[in-house]
Chains A and B, each alone.
Chain A
Amino acid sequence: AQSVTQPDIHITVSEGASLELRCNYSYGATPYLFWYVQSPGQGLQLLLKYFSGDTLVQGIKGFEAEFKRSQSSFNLRKPSVHWSDAAEYFCAVDPGTASKLTFGTGTRLQVTL
C-alpha cells in the first residue's frame, strides 16, 4: 500500500528565512501529489498539486514544490517565510485510481519573529 512520510514533525524558522518541508512517498508509479496547509481549528487549504509535466510546481502564497522521481520526493519550499505561514502542512498522495488521498502525519511550522 502507498504511504507518505513527512520526517519532520516540527520545524521552527525565523521570519524571512527560507523553508523546506520534506515529503517522501512509497508507490510503484507516479502518483498525484499535493500539499495542503491547515491553520489551527481550520480546514485544509490546497497549496499546490502535481499531476504531470513540469516537475517544479508553483502554488499559492509563494510556495513551490519539486517532484523528484528518483528520490520519490515532493518537497515544499518557500524562499522567505512570513509569520502568517505558521500552521501545519500536510503532504498527500493520490495514486490516480482510488480517488482517495493518503496523508502524511504533517509538519508543524513555527515562525519566530
Chain B
Amino acid sequence: NAGVMQNPRHLVRRRGQEARLRCSPMKGHSHVYWYRQLPEEGLKFMVYLQKENIIDESGMPKERFSAEFPKEGPSILRIQQVVRGDSAAYFCASSQQPQETQYFGPGTRLLVL
C-alpha cells in the first residue's frame, strides 16, 4: 500500500511566479490536510479537504493561496505570485476518516528566489 505521495519534492520559483504542489493520498483515504513548515519551526495547519469540498481553511493565508481536492486526481495547493516568505516545506497528510491518524507525505520544499 503506497503511502502519501507528493510532487515535486523540490520546487524553485522566482518571485511573482505560481507554484503548484500536488498530493496523492493513501489508497482508501478521502481526507487530505496541508501543513506548512517554515525553517526551524513546527508544522502549521493550512487547510483540510475532502473530495470536492474544503472543510476547514482557517490556516490558509487570505490571499494568493488556494487548495482543491477534485473528484478525480490529486489534491493541489496553489500559490500565486510567490514571495520569498513562501519558501518552506509543504506537507500533505491523509486519513481514512476525520479524527483518525494522519499519515504524512515526504513534503515539497519550495524555494522562492
Binding site for B on A (CB under 8 A): 4, 32, 34, 36, 41-46, 49, 90, 92, 94, 96-106
Give Cα A47–Cα B24 distance, bound, in whole angstroms: 22
When A and B form their complex, what is the total count of cross-chain residue pairs whose Cβ atoms lie within 8 Å? Answer: 59
Are A99 and B31 in contact, CB atoms less than 8 angstroms apart? yes
Interface of B is mostly: strand
Binding site for A on B (CB under 8 A): 4, 6, 31, 33, 35, 41-45, 48, 55-56, 58-59, 91, 93, 95, 98-99, 101-107, 109
Which residue of chain A is the closest to B107 with respect to CB atoms? A43
Are A42 and B43 in contact, CB atoms less than 8 angstroms apart? no
| Nearest CB in chain A: distance from B108 CB, A | 10
Knowing A42-B106, A43-B106 are in contact, say whether A100-B33 is a contact too (CB < 8 A): yes
Are B42 and A105 in contact, CB atoms less than 8 angstroms apart? yes
List A contacts of B109 (CB < 8 A): 41
Knowing A36-B104, A43-B107, A96-B99 are in contact, say whether A101-B55 is a contact too (CB < 8 A): no
List B contacts of A101 (CB < 8 A): 33, 35, 43, 45, 93, 102
